[in-house]
Amino acid sequence: MLLARHLTLRGRVQGVGFRYALQREALRLSLAGWVRNRLDGSVEAVVYGAPDAVDRLTEWARHGPPSARVTDLKVSAHEDTYEKFELRPTA
């Protein structure tokens, strides 16, 4: 069984390489989905794959790369499936 989660991250998460670091971590964990900046200053992602890998990425996202400071992480269920992991344009 595969699992999908929607993540919304707030704090110092833009301009610090967060999207690229999250993409690298997702690929390392063999996850699919996407990540993008939001106009409100947050970062939004959907991760899809093996439940243990999704859990590991979600835990990684609580801190992010060294230059980031995550002050809020919201996690919710997501229903879509994905074949690859991609960077999406800001929305």
- How far is residue 70 from each of residues 10, 51, 59, 79, 82, measured CA to CA in Å? 6, 22, 12, 25, 26
For residue 44, is it left (φ>0), alpha (ψ between -120 and 50) or beta?
beta
Q: Is 24 an active-site residue?
A: no
Is 36 considered catalytic here? no
- Identified catalytic residue from 5, 24, 37, 88: 37
Catalytic residue among 5, 10, 12, 19: 19
Kindly list the catalytic residues.
Answer: 19, 37
